Amino acid sequence: MTAAAGKAPRDVNRGVAPVTYGQGERPPRGDYGRAGADYTCAQDHARYTEADHDTYRRLYARQLQQLPGLACDEFIAAVRQLGAPERIPRFDDISERLFRATGWQIACVPGLIPEESFFALLAARKFPVTDWIRKPEEFDYVVEPDVFHDLFGHVPLLFDPTFADYMQAYGAGGLKASRLDACELLARLYWYTVEFGLIATPKGLRAYGAGILSSTGELRYSITSAEPRRVAFDLQRLMRSRYRIDTYQATYFVIDSFKQLFDATAPDFTPVYESVRKTIAAAGEIEAGVVLPGERQFTP
Ligand SMILES: [Fe+2]
């Protein structure tokens, strides 16, 4: 685990990798002594207390009732695959179902892990899920992703074959980006799609990003509020865009389909990074909440 010094976790993001994976400024929460060289460990299910299970149950129930009309159909269809909502599930049980569906598995981790290890797991179709759960006093907000965010937010869409392929392509791209010094640009792609992505459907806008789907207030805000900007997904535009980690998002990127996402990620990004860097050098980055002239926007 590496730590990026001087980065306040609730401060405006200045282009460092998001805390959704990779680094945080504080020593990472979690017992890393249990982890192997690839940062994975066994889920110590017996260690959860009744209070832990109760926190999970209440978080799950609160999010579940918010999903209709706000979350995408693929997410709603798959969320029950997480198993009984009353207790923190055993990752192995979910992995069995997930492997049968899309060839993915859950890899238990003690908390945030370094980017390289994160990318390597995704490229091997393993999604790292933190095993600790937030304290009751953190019910509404937890700085680092916990088991509820990782499991409820991320795992259901891994049951969708196209999204599952996108995640693997992202991991493979990440391993390459590390060598090209392009992790910052790739982190923006993760942030604006996997964590905070919206999708346009015949029934209206819906959320598919885990940061939204596991959030108390942002799920409704992202779909119904007149405040944020919602712009059509464009890879190079997205990679020029800063984001904020201290508030709800000021900009969301809207995809038409998961296939669009996969197709955008499938080609080699090397020329994309070069082009984005040139544009940033000439025209600058784009602040969150800013819409460019002529840009198509989605309204609630
Ligand atoms: Fe996440």
Q: What is the pLDDT of residue 26?
A: 64
pLDDT-wise least confident of 58-67, 113-122, 196-205: 113-122
Model confidence at 24, pLDDT cuts 50, 70, 90, reads low
151 C-alpha to ligand 1 centroid (Å): 9
282 C-alpha to ligand 1 centroid (Å): 32
**Residue tagged 């609160």 (tokens):** 62
Catalytic (active site) residue 53: no
Given a contact cutoff of 8 angstroms between Cβ atoms, the answer to whether 224 and 159 are in contact is no
Mean pLDDT (the chain) is 89
Catalytic (active site) residue 149: yes
Q: Distance between CA atoms of 270 and 75, rounded to whole angstroms?
A: 32
pLDDT > 90 in the chain, percent: 73
Which segments of 204-284 does DSSP mark as H helices, in order? 210-213, 218-224, 235-239, 258-265, 270-283
How would you class 175 by CB atoms within 10 Å of its CB: exposed for 0-12, middle for 13-18, buried for 19 or more? middle
Q: What is the pLDDT of residue 83?
A: 93
283 C-alpha to ligand 1 centroid (Å): 30
Question: Once rounded to an integer, what is the mean pLDDT over residues 170-193?
Answer: 90
Catalytic (active site) residue 45: no
236 C-alpha to ligand 1 centroid (Å): 22
Catalytic (active site) residue 218: no
Number of Cβ within 10 Å of residue 123's Cβ equals 18
Cα distances (angstroms) measured from residue 213 to each of 12, 153, 208, 274, 289: 22, 6, 7, 33, 21
